[in-house]
Structure 1
Amino acid sequence: MKRRFWVTLSTTPKLLRLVWQAAPRWLLVSVSATVVAALLPVAWLYINKLIIDALATSLSSQSIAWQSLALLVSLRFALAIFKAGLENLRPYIALVISDRFSLYANQQLLRQAIRLDLEHYESSQFHESLSRAMQSGSSYPVRAFNNFTMILGQLINLLGVLGLLLQFNPVMVGLLFLTSLPPLKIGVAYSNKGFSLMRKQTLNNRVASYFQGLLTQQQMAKEVRLYGLGSYLMEQWYRISREHHRKMSRLMLQRTSARFAVGLVPSLGFYGAYIWVIIQTVRSQITLGDFTMYAGAFSQSQSLLANLVENVSTAYEANLYVTQYLDFLELKPTITSPIQAVPFPPVLKTGICFQQVSFTYPQAERPTLRDINLTIYPGESVALVGVNGVGKTTLVKLLTRLYGPSTGRITIDGYALEAFDLDELRQQIAVLFQDFAHYKLSVAENIGLGDVAAMADRERIIQAARAAGADDWIQTLPNGYDTKLGNLFPKGQQLSGGQWQKLGLARAFMSRAPILILDEPTAAMDAIAEMELFERFKNLTQGRTTLFTSHRFSSVRLADRVIVLDQGRVLELGNHDELMQQDGLYAHMFRLQAEGYQL
């Protein structure tokens, strides 16, 4: 436990570095104010001693030194005013640092979340780490810093007081320190227990939050009511939450009992020292002024040690949580840019080539893609077809470097994807996934996010909407392109699934990237909207290398070539007529769908 104690507190320098980066000047002001505030009580004790000794001398000599007394009292009064001003100023300093650091800490966490790979987000362990980091990063770094400043002030104050006490009796100082160790040990032990319990409960808390979300999210509201799921889901949430609260309450009761028991030990040390000061005063070994100073010093030291022990325990506990935040910031992405990147070709010459590409998802036992070999030529439109789960979307993820191939390589104009700067590569590929995002922003922002640099170009936004067949109904909205969407915010408009998909398409068309990838681009559209879109398909994709997936063979026929995937492999390759003549899987699926329409 000793090793863990010091290892945990060793995160303090990293924490101070973060605070320095967030608010350097305010950190200096805070430390300076802490040091000054810590020295004031020592000065106060010493001035009180001088005043009492001056009074005793004056009374014994029957000659009152008014000038000296007036100077000492004035100095004490000045210290009182200064202390009052400092006490009013320090909460303001702490508030400013807390606000700035909280903003900075959350900003760092969000930057890290953006930087990490999709692979992280598809891992349950990552979500536990993210949940802990969000819980810890929101308040615990500020708590740890506040504890640090309090400990610093208390240490300086304590050192000053001990400097006075060492002149009296070093043994008494040792006694005070020894009697403060049991509370420290108990505090650290129960901090470890509380932290361990919290980590064990992370998954359960996430499950409870999930059930809570099912009861409160708009997209779940219909099924919860139609299937009468409310009571069942709430019972699941309550059962998990209640068990967590029971465990925490039991631990807090144990901690309170233990702290009360060991809290008697420091009191014994203090009263032993206090009795010894009285004995020395009665024996005339020290003056009355010395008595008031030493008695006050012993009282202050006991209070300081008690508070110091409490703050060290609290700092240790806060640092346990801060380590989770810092550990999250230390995570590294596996998909990165090379040190010296190759510029992306302004015009594709040889196209995109998959060479012996296989891929297995983390934790999966079987590969999703096996030995993929194919070339997509510049300006060509290629359709990917196959039953669910054959790897169509996975192939798109590899092309956009959301994942890297397990074996083989993917090239563009002969250069491996790993040779390009990651941001530049993704800027050259416009993608619409089947599970595309519904941004609860304005219509214009939903489209403009396809090219953030052109967000203010309203004409380009309108052109993209027209290309996706969305402009007509956008014009009918209350505020046109400035209409807010969804009901998360006031005056938001609800859209149908087909309308959202058209906005997603418009977002892809907003980009001027030479490579266009559309994953089930018409899945939520009605037959008329789909027909209108694919009537314009050749014009919309002209000059672009296009890859799209679809289960609707009416749209697949428009592709220059069709790639049929089966069990992670390329089974068939050719245009529609060629594949129909082969009478293989493609022809079989096409006929099945055609027969369904003929019914």
Structure 2
Amino acid sequence: MGFIRRCSTARGVGMRHKKRHRNFVANNLVGLRLLYRMFPGGILFYSVLQMLHGVSWVLQVMSVQYFFDGISGKEGAIPPLAIKILLLGAAYAFAQTMNGVANCYGQILNRKVTKETKKILFHTIDRKEAIAFEYAEELDQMNKAVRGSEGVFWVSTTILDILFFYVFYFAVMSWYLFSLAPLLGISTIIIFIPNVIARLLHMISFEHLENEAAPVRRKTDYYADCIVGKEYYKETRLWGCGKYFLDRYNRMLKKLNGLHFRMQIRKEKINFCINVLTVSAYGIIIGMLVYYVLTDAISVGAFAAVFAALREFYGFMDEVISERLAISIENMATVRNFFAFIEDNREEREQINLPERFEIRLDHVSFAYPQPETGERKYVLSDINLRIPWGQTVALVGENGSGKSTLCHIIAGLYSPTEGTVSYGEEQRGAGRIVKGISAVFQKFCRYSMSLGENIRISDLDGDKSEDRLRQICKDVGVAPEWVGGIDGMLGREFGGTEVSGGQWQRIAIARGIYRNNSLLILDEPTAAIDALEEKYLYEEFGKLSRNCTSIIVTHRLASAQIADRILVIKDGRILQDGSHDELIAVQGEYRAMYELQSQWYQ
């Protein structure tokens, strides 16, 4: 059995994401559905806590009126004062307890939700074509989605907080005020309208800011990494270019701060207007209270209760508008980006095994990397036609930038060809991502800050976990566990392990590639950091280890290419020559010219 991968322009890759511009409530409902699917019981319990929290503050106000009315003696039989004090204390204690419990549970649930949103985010990213990581716009979308994933809980539960705490509290309090004097209740409702309108305008402005800030923020982080990042700091110090990157970092940071400053000024103008309105309303209601108590329209207890509750009432009003709703609106832009990102309805790419003893076939394969600035296609591979029989070892040679690594990525199934087809075996199957049966060691291999054994086993977590096999592979490629104190020794200084040389890291990467159970092994410049003698030894061992699979080697050292059954010379994205070492050296051509040029250095 075999399968074929046809050319494809990955859906959504390099294209602008079409976001669904829902309103604030609609986005909250989307978030709530997501949260309910994650933790149905937790969300229901959170809602109950918020309602009890609102009830506790209303009981506090009523207990104050009950206390002062009892003292004033206007209600006839008065229970003992101690009982009234206990009831008042219990109401205050209940309010503070519910405040702490609701906030604490919210923090706990937020951590659980963030963990799940990260899983969803990583799963969505995993579904994307590898070529997506070559597009700046796709990276910006990922950056915004990562930020949005961290605020999903607090933004999405805003509507729960408003309904079960704030609306409940304000509705009961408004009814309470209305029962005392209708004008009091109506006044509190009118105050909300301009505040909500102002916040909606602020939300629209902040969304535009987030879209502008994402690429600037990513550049700022990149330049910071160039200055202090582990991958860059050696060259940065060696070339003395720290100031250069610092200047670029400062320019990007200044631009980013300018965007936030502009937004902050707009925000503070809105807040000032809201505060003026709130203070004016506060003064008017106090004046009304004084008038009503002087005219005996309300009792002294009611006056004391309302007067004491006004601070909490307007405190909650300011909290819901200037903090809870405002922060939610500000973060809605990033959360909306998260929703848009995970709504990518790209289907799961099929994970399949390679067939047994298959032939690799490329028919009219061309490939172009994205050129977002011009919108044009720049082909790095053009009309490649290739057959690789089962068990053959093929070496790819050629100048830098000729397309060798890209060809490996296509054969490995990481990239889909822009044009043409890639098939494995005779039978054709639908498009899918090859996961099992292919192993590779690329030029920029990973250096995991884990134990030596984990660094190697990670390529095949479901494979044979026997330590004997692991130690044999280490021996075959020249990896000595003694470098780090044994198989379980930690590699890399990041978490207190042992740092090894570049050549030793490269041997570990080769061991990782060989450890994976594979039918196709690709080595892209696997010995660049290893001296010539060690390279000769490694290739001899590699020849033995690759007898039962198809192998592809990319190398610039033509002496090493001689171990291959077949050599392909790649130039300008095309196969220029194809044959064994003896066949290619016997004719005037690119291979012979490169071989003779390299030979001069060894004479």
Give the TM-score normalised by the residue count of structure 2. 0.86
Q: Does 1:314 align with 2:327?
A: yes
Question: Aligned residue for 1:226?
Answer: 238
SS of equivalent residue, structure 1 residue 426 = strand
Larger relative CO (CA 8 A, sep 6+): 1 or 2?
2
Q: Does 1:523 align with 2:531?
A: no
Q: 1:446 aligns with which of 455, 476, 480?
A: 455
**Contact 1:270/1:299, CA 8 A, preserved across alignment:** no
In the alignment, the residues of structure 2 paired with residue 45 and residue 204 of structure 1 have an alpha-carbon distance, to the nearest angstrom, of: 50
Q: Does 1:362 align with 2:375?
A: no
Q: Does 1:324 align with 2:340?
A: no
In the alignment, the residues of structure 2 paired with residue 508 and residue 414 of structure 1 have an alpha-carbon distance, to the nearest angstrom, of: 27
Question: Aligned residue for 1:269?
Answer: 281
In the alignment, the residues of structure 1 paired with residue 481 and residue 100 of structure 2 have an alpha-carbon distance, to the nearest angstrom, of: 57
Bigger Cα displacement from structure 2, 502-511 vs 264-273: 264-273
**Contact 1:485/1:493, CA 8 A, preserved across alignment:** yes
SS of equivalent residue, structure 1 residue 401 = coil
Question: Aligned residue for 1:493?
Answer: 499
In the alignment, the residues of structure 1 paired with residue 110 and residue 195 of structure 2 have an alpha-carbon distance, to the nearest angstrom, of: 29
Counterparts of 1:134-213 in structure 2, within 5 Å, are 134-138=146-150, 140-145=151-156, 147-152=158-163, 153-213=165-225
Q: Does 1:380 align with 2:384?
A: no
In the alignment, the residues of structure 2 paired with residue 562 and residue 31 of structure 1 have an alpha-carbon distance, to the nearest angstrom, of: 68
Which residue type is aligned with residue 513 of structure 1? N
Distance 1:55 1:454, change over 3 A: same
Q: 2:361 aligns with which of 338, 353, 365?
A: 353
Counterparts of 1:531-546 in structure 2, within 5 Å, are 531-546=536-551
In the alignment, the residues of structure 2 paired with residue 91 and residue 290 of structure 1 have an alpha-carbon distance, to the nearest angstrom, of: 30
Structure 1 residues 472-525: Cα deviation after superposition (integer angstroms, max 9, x where no partner): xx1442403223222212142232x22222111111111221111111222222
Question: Aligned residue for 2:486?
Answer: 480
Q: 2:48 aligns with which of 20, 32, 38?
A: 32
Question: Aligned residue for 1:19?
Answer: 35
Q: 1:512 aligns with which of 509, 517, 539?
A: 517
**Contact 1:410/1:417, CA 8 A, preserved across alignment:** no
SS of equivalent residue, structure 2 residue 413 = coil
Which residue type is aligned with residue 448 of structure 2? Y
Distance 1:94 1:489, change over 3 A: same
Counterparts of 1:86-165 in structure 2, within 5 Å, are 86-138=98-150, 140-145=151-156, 147-152=158-163, 153-165=165-177
Question: Aligned residue for 1:566?
Answer: 571
Distance 1:581 1:102, change over 3 A: same
In the alignment, the residues of structure 2 paired with residue 103 and residue 67 of structure 1 have an alpha-carbon distance, to the nearest angstrom, of: 53
In the alignment, the residues of structure 2 paired with residue 5 and residue 183 of structure 1 have an alpha-carbon distance, to the nearest angstrom, of: 22
Please report how far the alpha carbon of residue 415 of structure 1 lies from its aligned counterpart in structure 2 after TM superposition: 3.2
**Contact 1:16/1:145, CA 8 A, preserved across alignment:** yes
Which residue type is aligned with residue 557 of structure 1? Q
In the alignment, the residues of structure 2 paired with residue 579 and residue 5 of structure 1 have an alpha-carbon distance, to the nearest angstrom, of: 61
In the alignment, the residues of structure 2 paired with residue 131 and residue 235 of structure 1 have an alpha-carbon distance, to the nearest angstrom, of: 23
Which residue type is aligned with residue 316 of structure 1? I
Counterparts of 1:410-429 in structure 2, within 5 Å, are 410-416=422-428, 418=430, 422=433, 425-429=434-438
Q: Does 1:469 align with 2:481?
A: no
Question: Aligned residue for 2:421?
Answer: 409
Which residue type is aligned with residue 144 of structure 1? V
Please report how far the alpha carbon of residue 74 of structure 1 lies from its aligned counterpart in structure 2 after TM superposition: 5.4
In the alignment, the residues of structure 2 paired with residue 342 and residue 109 of structure 1 have an alpha-carbon distance, to the nearest angstrom, of: 23
Structure 1 residues 274-321: Cα deviation after superposition (integer angstroms, max 9, x where no partner): 434444444444444554556567665544433332232222222222
Please report how far the alpha carbon of residue 431 of structure 1 lies from its aligned counterpart in structure 2 after TM superposition: 0.9
**Contact 2:484/2:490, CA 8 A, preserved across alignment:** no
**Contact 1:562/1:575, CA 8 A, preserved across alignment:** yes
**Contact 2:28/2:157, CA 8 A, preserved across alignment:** no
Share of identical aligned residues, percent? 24
Give the TM-score normalised by the residue count of structure 1. 0.87
Please report how far the alpha carbon of residue 381 of structure 1 lies from its aligned counterpart in structure 2 after TM superposition: 1.2
**Contact 2:397/2:568, CA 8 A, preserved across alignment:** yes
Bigger Cα displacement from structure 2, 516-525 vs 256-265: 256-265
Please report how far the alpha carbon of residue 456 of structure 1 lies from its aligned counterpart in structure 2 after TM superposition: 3.8
Please report how far the alpha carbon of residue 156 of structure 1 lies from its aligned counterpart in structure 2 after TM superposition: 0.7
**Contact 1:161/1:297, CA 8 A, preserved across alignment:** no
Distance 1:416 1:568, change over 3 A: farther
**Contact 2:174/2:188, CA 8 A, preserved across alignment:** no
SS of equivalent residue, structure 2 residue 49 = helix
Distance 1:58 1:328, change over 3 A: closer
In the alignment, the residues of structure 2 paired with residue 10 and residue 93 of structure 1 have an alpha-carbon distance, to the nearest angstrom, of: 25
Question: Aligned residue for 1:595?
Answer: 600
In the alignment, the residues of structure 1 paired with residue 352 and residue 504 of structure 2 have an alpha-carbon distance, to the nearest angstrom, of: 39
In the alignment, the residues of structure 1 paired with residue 577 and residue 50 of structure 2 have an alpha-carbon distance, to the nearest angstrom, of: 74
Distance 1:295 1:82, change over 3 A: closer
Structure 1 residues 240-266: Cα deviation after superposition (integer angstroms, max 9, x where no partner): 324433553454345334422442223
Report the structure, 1 or 2, having the larger helix content.
1
**Contact 1:449/1:455, CA 8 A, preserved across alignment:** no
SS of equivalent residue, structure 2 residue 468 = helix
**Contact 1:382/1:548, CA 8 A, preserved across alignment:** yes
